[in-house]
Amino acid sequence: MTVFPSKAVQAFIGGLLLAALGACAVNPVTGQREISFISEQRELTIGQQQYLPSQQGQGGELSVDPQLSAYVQEVGNRLAAVSDRQLPYEFVVLNNSVPNAWALPGGKIAVNRGLLVELNSEAELAAVLGHEIVHAAARHGAQAMERGMLLQGAMVVGAIAVQGSEYADYAVGGAQLGAQLLTQRYGREAERESDAYGIRYMTKAGYDPAAAISLQETFVRLSQGQGSSNWLDGLFASHPPSQERVQNNRLLVAELRAEGITGGELGVERYQEATQFLRESKPAYDAFDEAEQLIAQDRLEEASRRLDTALSLVPNEARFLGLQADILVYQRRYEAAVAEYDRAIAQDPNYFDYYLGRGVAYSRQGQEQRATRDLQASIKLLPTALAMTELGDLSLQSNDRAVAKQYYQIAAEAQGAIGERSRSAFMQLDIADNPGQYISVQAYVTAQGRLVARAQNTSPMPVRSVRVEFRAIINGQEVGRAAVLPLLNPGQSGDVDSGLSYPEGVAPSAGQVSVQVTSASVD
């Protein structure tokens, strides 16, 4: 069936397209004219608003080695200084084993420790950061949003596809935009531009551009099966390598050499010194990753032992303490879990998961005020479906149905079991508050003159005690009746008799009968 948009929607789409056609600008990196109706200020706002939740959803900042973040920021600043577009660039190292790097609109850039441990020199790091700087400077993220707007015929950022992202599954509210931007796959042309201009940036900053060739050669080799699945989950998902990209880099470096640009820094020793902690502590983080996999297999005791190993190597890593606390929650050892979360927060008070876990532990102990405080602290850092659902449950326990519904409605945006549970919890409350939105009802008169209503349950859950109220004018008198249907299963229809009758041969005229569902309940 073909569905045509209403005139109002057609007018809106037409206006949007006209605005798009009229909103052309020169790309600051490529110099090409292009459609641009997300302003620079909007880019900056999106980047600023999404930077923290995006970090939180990817493991949080690597707080145990602040010198490394300072080093990456220094290298990033060196490249940003030669960018074709001056933005408030920021660079951060994330506590995540997946080899990945990403850029948000407005110049907010992150690189995972899992990628840094695989690089060999500062020049290779410069190639990665230069590539991400171009994504921001050339508006590739903003362009993806603009394409989504035009494809949807409305200003809907959510048009960007999200697939296979744990972050996208549990982030809710405003944080969903960050999840979508992080998991988008750039087009072939955007990757080519970022490679080409990124190499020029690293060359202007004084680095040997040949490092970009060796970096892509490594990526191609790993993508062909010599690397771990982490690579496929990370950098290769959003920045797919190819032999074509290697060849393009070789050609560009050859052009630069022909222009007289020779040499350049590799910075091998500087890089090895800056990443010494990462390389020395890799066995600890490998044990942490193994523990996460064991937890997913419900092998909690083994996971705890792997975390003990990790903590013996890096005792002050909050992520290790936090995961140990998570295991205690799964084991329903809530008091011990709270103590472990306390230790994690003492090491790193800026990661959402510790507050979320401690809030759950407090809730299971019946400490509602402490639970609410911690859960609210967690959603300030990253709004998640689990925190919203837990807050909904706590609000319901306090008989605050309106607030509970708000929390459940936000959590219902998420995918998976938590989102489904929240959708069900919200609907249970909302059916009682607004039964007419879920149960359609229509009156009719039988051949015998009886006034009857046919009700249909359009919700996905059984509804009980459906009360239908009738108003009718019979023999010039307004009368009212109510009747109850005991049960309507999902999709089921049922008739309810009002107990009112019209004289033989008399039928009500328009406006003389009204019927509505006034109450219902869900078990």
Same fold, 281-382 and 435-521: no
Question: Which CATH number is correct for 281-382, 3.90.470.20, 1.25.40.10, 3.40.50.410, 1.10.1760.20?
Answer: 1.25.40.10
Q: Whose CA is closest to 506, among 479, 482, 474?
A: 474
pLDDT band, very low/low/confident/very high, at 430 (cuts 50, 70, 90): very high
pLDDT band, very low/low/confident/very high, at 236 (cuts 50, 70, 90): low
H-helix segments, 368-489? 368-381, 385-397, 401-411, 416-433
Query: Any idea which of 78-92, 296-310, 507-521 has the lowest mean pLDDT?
Result: 507-521
377-426 pLDDT per residue, tens: 999 999 999 999 999 999 999 999 999 999 999 999 888 889 999 999 99
Tell me the two tokens of residue 289: 């990753």
How far apart CA 464 and CA 521 sit, in angstroms, is: 5
* Mean pLDDT to the nearest integer, 310-338: 97
pLDDT band, very low/low/confident/very high, at 234 (cuts 50, 70, 90): low
How far apart CA 55 and CA 341 sit, in angstroms, is: 20
What does the pLDDT read at residue 7? 47
As assigned by CATH, the class of the 435-521 domain is: mainly beta
* Mean pLDDT to the nearest integer, 109-123: 94
How far apart CA 110 and CA 128 sit, in angstroms, is: 10
Is the pLDDT at 318 greater than 70? The verdict is yes
E-strand stretches of 30-154:
33-35, 90-94, 101-104, 108-112
Assess contact for 78 and 122: CB atoms under 8 A: no
What are the domain boundaries of the chain? 22-271, 281-382, 383-433, 435-521
Is the pLDDT at 9 greater than 50? The verdict is no
Query: Any idea which of 37-41, 58-62, 263-267 has the lowest mean pLDDT?
Result: 37-41
How far apart CA 182 and CA 192 sit, in angstroms, is: 19
Give the 3-state secondary structure percentages of the chain, helix then strand then coil, rounded to 5.
55, 15, 30
Query: Any idea which of 2-11, 128-137, 351-360, 367-376 has the lowest mean pLDDT?
Result: 2-11
172-207 pLDDT per residue, tens: 776 666 666 665 666 677 888 888 889 999 999 999
What does the pLDDT read at residue 337? 98
339-364 pLDDT per residue, tens: 999 999 999 999 999 999 999 999 99
Burial of 445 per CB tally in 10 Å (0-12, 13-18, 19+) = middle
What does the pLDDT read at residue 479? 95
Query: Any idea which of 87-91, 231-235, 456-460 has the lowest mean pLDDT?
Result: 231-235
Element (H, E) at 496: strand 493-501
Tell me the two tokens of residue 134: 């171009």
Residue 226: partners with Cβ closer than 8 Å, 6 or more residues away: none
